[in-house]
Amino acid sequence: MNELADPKLNHLLAALPAEEFARLSPHLEPVTMKLGQVLYESGGALSHMYFPITSIVSLLYVLENGSSAEIAVVGNEGILGISLFMGGETTPSRAVVQSEGIGYRLGSRRLKDEFKEFGPMMFLLLRYTQALITQMAQTAVCNRHHSVDQQLCRWLLLSLDRLSGDDLKMTQELIANMLGVRREGVTEAAGKLRHAGIISYSRGHIRVLDRPKLERNVCECYAVVKKE
C-alpha cells in the first residue's frame, strides 16, 4: 500500500481539535485488516486501540460451547478497544474483522497518556462508549424479539452504511455466527430477500439491489442504532 488513507476518515479522529490531532498523529500506525482477522481475543490483553477507516469489525461474544452472538459493529464511525481507557486490561468480547480494509492503530500506552490529559479526546471516547452501549442494548432486545428475517435486514443495512458501495463480501455462514443463528436460517432469510428482488448473492458476495425495500423490511432497531 503506497497510498495512505487520511486518518481523518475516521469520524472520531476527525472530530479531534487540530492541536490534539497533531499530538496524536505521529503515533498512529496504519494497519490493514484482513477478513476474519481477530484483533482481540475474548479475555485477552489489549495492546492497541484501533481506528477503522474502510474496514468493519464485529464485536462477538462467544460462549463455552462455541456458539456466539454479535453485540456491536464498529466501522469508521468508531473505535475498538474501549476497555483500555475504561480501566480493564482485557476485553470480554472477541473482535473479528468482518469486512477487509484499512485503519490505524495507537499503542495502549500512548492512548492512556492522551486519555489522562482529560481533554477533548477523553470526552470523545466517552461519548462514543455511550453510543456503543446503546447499540449493544438494542442488539440485545432485537435478538430476543425479532425474527431472523428482520435481523438479517438490520445486519445488512448496518454493514452497508459503513461501506461505500452496495457490495459486501460475506458468507451466510459468517452472518449466522454474528446473528447467533443457524446457517440454514440465514440461507432461508436471504432466499426470501433474493426472491423479492432486494438482494443478489453468490458464494460470499452479496449485492444490495433495492435498498429502500430493504429498509421497509427492517425492524425499528436499525433506525435506533443508526442514530447512535
Partner DNA sequence: AAATATGTGTGCGATACCGTACAGACAGGT
Partner DNA sequence: ACCTGTCTGTACGGTATCGCACACATATTT
Q: Pairing mode, if any, of strands 94-99 and 29-33?
A: unpaired
Sheet holding 205-208, edge to edge: 167-169, 205-208, 199-202
C-alpha cell at 164: 461505500
Rounded least distance, CB 8 to its own copies, Å: 21
Q: In the window 80-119, what residues touch its own copies (CB under 8 A)? A: 83, 85-88, 92-93, 116, 118
Task: Determine if 160 is a binding residue for its own copies (CB under 8 A).
Answer: no
Distances in whole angstroms, Cα of residue 107 to Cα of each of 27, 39, 46: 8, 13, 9
Task: Determine if 147 is a binding residue for its own copies (CB under 8 A).
Answer: no
Q: In the window 166-195, what residues touch DNA (CB under 7 A)? A: 171-173, 180-185, 187-188, 190-191, 194
Rounded least distance, CB 36 to DNA, Å: 9
What's the per-residue H, E or C state across 136-178?
HHHHHHHHHHCCHHHHHHHHHHHHHHCCCCCEEECCHHHHHHH
**35 touches, from DNA, its own copies, none (C-beta below 5 to 8 Å by class):** none
**88 touches, from DNA, its own copies, none (C-beta below 5 to 8 Å by class):** its own copies
Site string for DNA, 9-48 (x = CB under 7 A): ----------------------------------------
Rounded least distance, CB 88 to DNA, Å: 30
> Residue 186's CB: how many other CB atoms inside 10 A?
24
Burial code of 36-69, b = ≥16 C-beta within 10 A, e = fewer?
Answer: eeebbebeeebebbbbbbbbbbbbbbbeeeeebb
C-alpha cell at 224: 435506533
**183 touches, from DNA, its own copies, none (C-beta below 5 to 8 Å by class):** DNA
**47 touches, from its own copies, DNA, none (C-beta below 5 to 8 Å by class):** none
C-alpha cell at 43: 479475555
> Residue 109's CB: how many other CB atoms inside 10 A?
12
User: Can you give the binding site for its own copies, defined by CB under 8 A?
Assistant: 61, 63-64, 67-69, 71, 83, 85-88, 92-93, 116, 118, 123, 126-127, 129-130, 133-134, 136-141, 143-145, 180, 220, 224
